[in-house]
Structure 1
Amino acid sequence: MEQDFLRLIYPQWQGGNIASWFPDFEPQKISVGYSLGAELLNFLCPYSSNVKQVPVSFKATERGEKDGILDKVPLCEQIAAALDILRTEGPNKVLTLGGDCSVSVPVFSYLASKSPENTAIIWMDAHPDITLPGDAYNGFHAMALSACLGEGDPDILSLLPGKVLKKNVLTLGVRNFERNEIVKRFNDWGIENIRPAELEKDTVKIEDWLKARNIENVLVHLDLDVLEPSQIQAAVGKDSHGLTIKTVLNCISAISRKANIIGFTIAEPMPRTAILLKEMLNQLPLTHL
C-alpha cells in the first residue's frame, strides 16, 4: 500500500551510551528517556493522518556490547522492524521522530535506495556521527551517518536496502569532532561541513553545494544538539556555539528552495524536566484516587 507521506515514531534509546553524562539521573531512567522524547515530539508536531510506531524493547537492565556496538541485538531487531513498516506502507516521504540519532539509518537507507545518485544527506548535528565499531565509543548513535554511507558493522549493513554516496553528504553545525581519528576519517571521506558562524551569516553555501551536485532529493537529519544550548536545551548534547532556532529554520528553507526534502529526522530529544515529572507522578497514588 503506497503512501505519499508517513510519520514514523521511533522511540529507540539503545543507540546511546549516555548514563555517565547525567550523574543526577538513574542510568536506566535517563537511557530510556529518549523514548519519552519521541512521544513528546509526536505530541508537539502538527497532526498527521498516517502515523506508525516502531516497536522498541525497554529491557534496560540487559544491556551488553557485541562486535563493538552496545545493544547490537535489539538495534538489529528494531532496524528490521522499521524497514518492515516502510516496505508495507511504501511512503515516498518520511518524517522520523526519535529517539537516538540511529533512527535515521533504516529510513534514510530505504529512501536512498529509490534514487541513490541524486539523493543527498544533510546532517545537522554538533557531532559528525561517523564513528565505527571498535572506536573508543560504542554507542551506535555516533555511528549513524557512517551506516547511512555503507560503512560499519556488516550485520547491520546487510539489513539496509541502500546507501548514500559519500560525495553527497554535507554536515551543518558540526563543532565537536571528539577525537583525531574522527577528523581524519571525515577528511578521508571528503565530507564537507559548514560551521555555525558561517550559517548565522547566510545559507548561500548550502544552496551552492546542492546546485553543484545537481541534487534532487535530500534527507535531513536534525539532531537537536545542533541548537545553541543557551537558547534552548532540548537534546542530550549541549555543546556551546550552536545554531539559533532562526538559523535552523533558514537552513531548512534554503534546502527546500533547491531540492525536495523526502526524509526528515528529528533526533536526540532528552526532556529532562519531563523525565523527573514522570518519575514523580509514578510515585503518587494516582491510580487509586
Structure 2
Amino acid sequence: MTNKTSALRLIYPQWQGGIVAHWMPDLPPDDASRGYYLGAYLLNFLAPDTGQRMIEVPVSLDINDRETEKGINSYQVILKQTKAALEILNNETPERIITLGGDCAVSVVPFTYLAAKYPDDVAIVWIDAHPDVSLPYDDYKGYHAMALTACLGIGDEEIMNVLPGKVDASKALLVGVRSWDKGMKERQNKLGIKGLSPAEVSDNSFVVMEWLKQVGVSKVVIHFDMDVLDPAEIIAAVGTDPDGMKIDEAVRVINDIASEYDIVGLTVAEPMPRVAIKIRNMLSKLPLLKD
C-alpha cells in the first residue's frame, strides 16, 4: 500500500545521539563517534533511486561540541538539528518520509511530524535490539537511547515542546528486542509497550499483524535499527548482541506490514560502516591522495 514515489527522502546523518566509540576499539575514537554520519551517506548511495525528492538535514561534524546538558550528551547540537529537520518537513509538507540516518534519534522528528499530520491514526513498529526508552535522568546520556520515548512525548521538556506530535504508548510495538540496559525492561512494561523477541517473528509476521489489527490504525511508521540484525549473518551496526533477526526476516516483517497498511514513515538507522571507515583512512595516507 506504500506509494514510494510520493515520499520525501530525508538524509539525516546525525551521529551525536550515540556515545559509542568505546565499543569499537579497532577504530580511532573520533571516527567511531562520527561513524553514523558516513553510514547515512552510504545508505543513500546504496538505496535504489525511486524518484523521491531528497533533502539533507545539516549536521555538525565538530567533535568537541559534545557537552552534556539536561541529562543529554550534545544537547544543544541535537536541539539545533531537531529544529532544522522540523523546518525542512514543515516547508516540504510530505505525506510520507523515508529517513536514512544516522543514530536512532533521526526517527523522532519524522515520526512526530507524521503523528501530527495523521492524528490518532499512526502506529509505531520499532524494529530494534534495544527498547530506546531511556530518559535524561538515566545513567546513559546518549539521546539515541531516548528516541522511542521522545516519539511518545516523554523526555526533555524543551525538546518535547519543539516536536509537533506524539504517539500513545499503546500504539508502539518493539520487534526484535533482546537487550535492555538496567531498568529499561521495567520501564517498557510500565509504559505498556509490547515487545517481541526475534524468535517470535522468525517464522512469520502473524503476531505483528494481529497487534496492528487490534490497534486499529490505517497508517504505520517503521523504525529499522540495523543492530536488530543477527551478527552471525551481518555486522552492520555498533551492537553485536547474538541471536538477532535475519535480514530476510526483518525485510519480510516490513513488507508484510506494507501489504496491509499505509507506511507513511520508514527509517533505516544506526549503520556503522567499520570497513568503509578503515578503507577511507587507508586511502587518506596514500601518495597523491593526502590532503
Scaled by the length of structure 2, what TM-score is found? Answer: 0.95
Whether contact under 8 Å (1:116, 1:165) holds in the other structure is no
Whether contact under 8 Å (1:119, 1:217) holds in the other structure is yes
Separation in 1, partners of 2:65, 2:175: 35
Deviates more, 1:48-57 or 1:117-126: 48-57
CA pair 75-288 structure 1, distance change in 2 beyond 3 A: closer
Separation in 2, partners of 1:100, 1:42: 15
- Alignment partner of 2:123: what SS? strand
The Cα shift of 1:22 comes to 1.2
CA pair 272-252 structure 1, distance change in 2 beyond 3 A: same
1:32-181 superposed matches below 5 A: 32-47=34-49, 48-179=51-182, 181=183
Whether contact under 8 Å (1:28, 1:61) holds in the other structure is no
Gaps of 5+ in 2: none
Whether contact under 8 Å (2:130, 2:179) holds in the other structure is yes
Task: Write the deviation string for residues 125-182 of structure 1: whole angstroms up to 9, x where unpaired.
Answer: 0000000001010000000001000000011111100001111000100001121x21
Residue identity opposite 1:71 in structure 2: S
Gaps of 5+ in 1: none
The Cα shift of 1:116 comes to 2.8
Separation in 2, partners of 1:176, 1:148: 20
The Cα shift of 1:25 comes to 1.7
1:14-29 superposed matches below 5 A: 14-29=16-31
The Cα shift of 1:49 comes to 3.9
Deviates more, 1:117-126 or 1:248-257: 248-257
Percent sequence identity over matched residues?
A: 47
Task: Name the counterpart of 1:230.
Answer: 232
- Alignment partner of 1:261: what SS? strand
Separation in 1, partners of 2:227, 2:109: 21
Separation in 2, partners of 1:185, 1:49: 38
The Cα shift of 1:287 comes to 4.6
1:182-261 superposed matches below 5 A: 182-261=184-263
Residue identity opposite 1:109 in structure 2: T
The Cα shift of 1:288 comes to 7.5
- Alignment partner of 1:130: what SS? coil
Displaced runs of 4 or more, over 4 A: none
Separation in 1, partners of 2:93, 2:133: 28
Separation in 2, partners of 1:60, 1:160: 26
Is residue 273 from structure 1 mapped to residue 275 from structure 2 by the alignment? yes
Separation in 2, partners of 1:288, 1:186: 49
C-alpha RMSD of matched pairs (Å)? 1.4
Whether contact under 8 Å (2:283, 2:289) holds in the other structure is no
Scaled by the length of structure 1, what TM-score is found? Answer: 0.96
